[in-house]
Chain A
Amino acid sequence: MILAFDIITLIFLVVTALIALRVKDLLAASMVFGIYSFLICLLWAQMNAVDVAFTEAAVGAGVSAVFMIATVFQTTRRSKD
């Protein structure tokens, strides 16, 4: 059961990493980064590293996603030059 969970999470992890790299929209990329962090958080929790999982959920999936989105809102769709 745990092995199946691991494999599914790891596959999703690779898929989200590839999506975050390939997708053109910066807002979508930062959302996918949030999902990526949350999947890593699940893996930490599965390995009984609850403290690390907590940090990953708060910092990785929470605040750093907000920071990235706040930065994306300061960009424009087309470059000025």
Chain B
Amino acid sequence: MKFLGLIAVLITGGLMLLASNDFPDWADSESPANNKADLSQKYVTDTLELTEVPNMVTAVLADYRGFDTMFETVVIFVAGIAIIAVLRPVNHDYSLPQPDDEDPDLIVLMTCRLLIPVIQLFALYVVAHGHHSPGGGFQGGVMLGASFILYALAYGLPKALVRLSEKRAITLAVIGILIYAGFGLATQFLGRNFLDYGVLYKIMPGVETEAWARSHSMLGVEIGVAFTVTAIMFAIYANLSTRGRLDRGL
């Protein structure tokens, strides 16, 4: 059996190496990514003018390929739901009194008390500055979720679930996707394509140009992504560390 496995791995690896021959060379000017209607050149030169966003990566991610990112968020949501559904025990009474955790160690407690606000503040900065510097909804959301995980590690899962219960987490995740889809629907009601943010300057107060409307919409969309990612990361941790019983964590 081991020998057959080795053969399968060798054949698959050989096929992948063979297929990689067809990739274009590094910086090949004839490759589709580089010459098809000068697409990447257009991103590089026109992004700042068209969207007022200095970070091209975010502009491509949240605006030009907004549809892709929206369903990436949905994928995270579905992954969280699937993990909860798989781990959920069938006959478990969640209303039982939870076993009390012993009091956390003083050093752990003080360290977390100092660290968690800084982590959360930095996570919010990463979300809010996603279109100006590296970062964005996914990274900021993961960091915000990690701060909740740190809280659960230090104070015990029951106390963390008081702050962000599973029901609240799933509601937050759904709200995040609805924020994202809401931006798309708003553009449709104003007569453009789904997620074509430019037209939103008509309903945004204090926004005169299409470029700024696109910039602000990207921020809104990133906030939606951050909601979903934060909530799902914490829900996944809570379920993984207790086999879905949500009693005593690690």
Contact = CB atoms under 8 A, between A and B. Distances in A.
Given A51-B136, A73-B241, A74-B241, A62 B236 contact: no
A43 to B, nearest CB: 15
Contact of B237 (A53, A67, A74): A67
Interface residues on A, range: 10 to 19
A66 B142 contact: no
A55 B60 CA distance: 16
A21 interface: no
A54 B236 CA distance: 21
B142 A59 contact: yes
B219 interface: no
B237 A55 contact: no
Interface in B44-93: 55, 57-58
B135 interface: yes
Contacts of A55: 138-139, 142
Interface of B: 55, 57-58, 126, 134-136, 138-139, 142-143, 145-146, 149, 233, 236-237, 240-241, 243, 250
Interface of A: 50-51, 53-55, 58-59, 62-63, 66-67, 70-71, 73-74
20 contacts: A50-B134, A51-B55, A51-B58, A54-B126, A54-B135, A54-B139, A58-B138, A58-B142, A58-B143, A58-B146, A59-B138, A59-B142, A62-B142, A63-B142, A63-B233, A70-B237, A70-B240, A70-B241, A73-B250, A74-B243
